[in-house]
């Protein structure tokens, strides 16, 4: 007996199978739509916001759900709009970016905060990072960095553009003075503390210093114990506030 393979038309499939397929497709489309990373942009220059929206819109995993012209508008917007990350300009009218960063931390602790600014001086960077931000990007050449910055933060990392990283390291090198806690750290531990403050993860630190991942984890454990801190955010604050 010869077997014959017959291709059925959609109408010939069992009704339950067709319905199940349609339901699955709708669920998939719903999950795809709702899984987008929701972004709110706060900047007082409309043309800049439009440009940023256009660049971020090229990534189908990202969604701009709101824009604000100043800090007050931003806080009003967040009362009715859920988002995953807020992109904040430090120089805004009515309520500046620094005040907003602190208010966001208190009212919306689960929302990530990415700073964009033309100000890349040490004082501005230290003041922003003391608020526990998730990233800081110089506005110059922003189109080439913004999608990467948001993606890195979405994955749970910190992101600082290269020039900001250089400034953070410079702050540590120039302003770090011998103190009781500092004396407890070895030279290698200080190197690792400095790199943690720039937002590098363990593997990146290991690659940078040409040591094993286990060695980095060992040193980080010692740093936390010696300085009596709990996480990377605490360590970053100590580095930037010149307390280690």
- For the chain, how big is the Rg over CA atoms in Å? 24
| Average pLDDT of the chain to the nearest whole number | 83
CATH code, domain with 195: 1.10.10.10
Could you say which DSSP state residue 11 is in? Answer: G
Q: Which domain holds residue 204?
A: 176-240
- Residues 96 and 149 occupy one common structural domain: yes
Q: Is residue 165 part of a domain?
A: no
Q: Is residue 75 part of a domain?
A: yes
- Residues 51 and 150 occupy one common structural domain: yes
Give the H or E element holding residue 65: strand 62-68
Between CA 105 and CA 113 the distance in angstroms is: 9
Q: What angle do CA 106, 167, 132 make, to 5 degrees?
A: 10
- Residues 94 and 207 occupy one common structural domain: no
- Residues 180 and 132 occupy one common structural domain: no
Give residue 28's pLDDT.
46
Could you say which DSSP state residue 27 is in? Answer: H
- If one counts the domains in the chain, the total is 2
Between CA 84 and CA 111 the distance in angstroms is: 5
| 140 or 16, which is more confident | 140
The distance in angstroms from the start CA to the end CA of the chain is: 84
Once rounded to an integer, what is the mean pLDDT over residues 47-55? Answer: 94
Once rounded to an integer, what is the mean pLDDT over residues 6-18? Answer: 43
Tokens 């319905």 — which residue?
19
| 187 or 10, which is more confident | 187
CATH code, domain with 56: 3.40.50.2300
- Residues 80 and 149 occupy one common structural domain: yes
Give residue 170's pLDDT.
82
Question: Could you report the per-residue pLDDT of 75-106, keeping only the tens digit for each?
Answer: 999 999 999 999 999 988 888 889 999 999 99
- Residues 41 and 138 occupy one common structural domain: yes
C-alpha distance from residue 126 to each of 11, 118, 162, 199, 212 (Å) = 66, 15, 16, 14, 30
- Residues 43 and 121 occupy one common structural domain: yes
- Residues 151 and 50 occupy one common structural domain: yes
Quick check: 156 and 133 in contact, CB under 8 A?
Answer: no
Question: Could you report the per-residue pLDDT of 154-192, keeping only the tens digit for each?
Answer: 999 999 999 998 888 887 776 555 455 667 788 899 899
Structure tokens at 23: 């339901």
Between CA 129 and CA 240 the distance in angstroms is: 8
- Residues 50 and 118 occupy one common structural domain: yes
Give residue 96's pLDDT.
84
Once rounded to an integer, what is the mean pLDDT over residues 145-150? Answer: 95
Could you say which DSSP state residue 123 is in? Answer: H
For residue 170, which of 233, 241, 122 has the smallest C-alpha distance?
Answer: 122
Q: Is the pLDDT of residue 198 over 90?
A: no
Q: Is residue 221 part of a domain?
A: yes
Give residue 34's pLDDT.
53
Between CA 146 and CA 150 the distance in angstroms is: 6
Q: Is residue 19 part of a domain?
A: no
């Amino acid at each position: 007996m010869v077997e014959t393979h017959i291709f059925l038309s959609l109408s010939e499939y069992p009704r339950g199978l067709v319905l199940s397929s349609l339901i699955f497709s709708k669920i998939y489309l719903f999950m795809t739509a709702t899984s987008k990373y929701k972004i709110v942009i706060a900047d007082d220059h409309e043309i800049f916001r439009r440009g940023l929206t256009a660049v971020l819109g090229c990534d189908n995993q990202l969604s701009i759900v709101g824009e604000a012209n100043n800090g007050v508008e931003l806080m009003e917007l967040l009362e009715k709009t859920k988002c995953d990350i807020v992109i904040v300009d430090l120089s805004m009218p009515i309520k500046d970016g620094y005040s907003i960063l602190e208010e966001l931390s208190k009212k919306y602790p689960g929302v990530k905060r990415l700073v964009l600014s033309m100000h890349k001086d040490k004082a501005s960077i230290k003041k922003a990072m003391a608020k526990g931000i998730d990233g800081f990007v110089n506005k110059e050449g922003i189109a080439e960095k913004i999608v990467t910055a948001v993606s890195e933060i979405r994955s749970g990392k910190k992101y600082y553009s290269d020039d900001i990283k250089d400034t953070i390291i410079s702050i540590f090198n120039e302003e770090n003075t011998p103190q009781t806690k500092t004396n407890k750290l070895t030279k290698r531990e200080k190197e690792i503390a400095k790199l943690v403050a720039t937002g590098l993860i363990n593997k990146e630190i290991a690659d940078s210093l040409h040591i094993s991942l286990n060695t980095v984890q060992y040193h980080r454990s010692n740093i936390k114990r010696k300085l009596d801190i709990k996480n990377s955010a605490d360590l970053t604050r100590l580095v930037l506030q010149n307390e280690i």
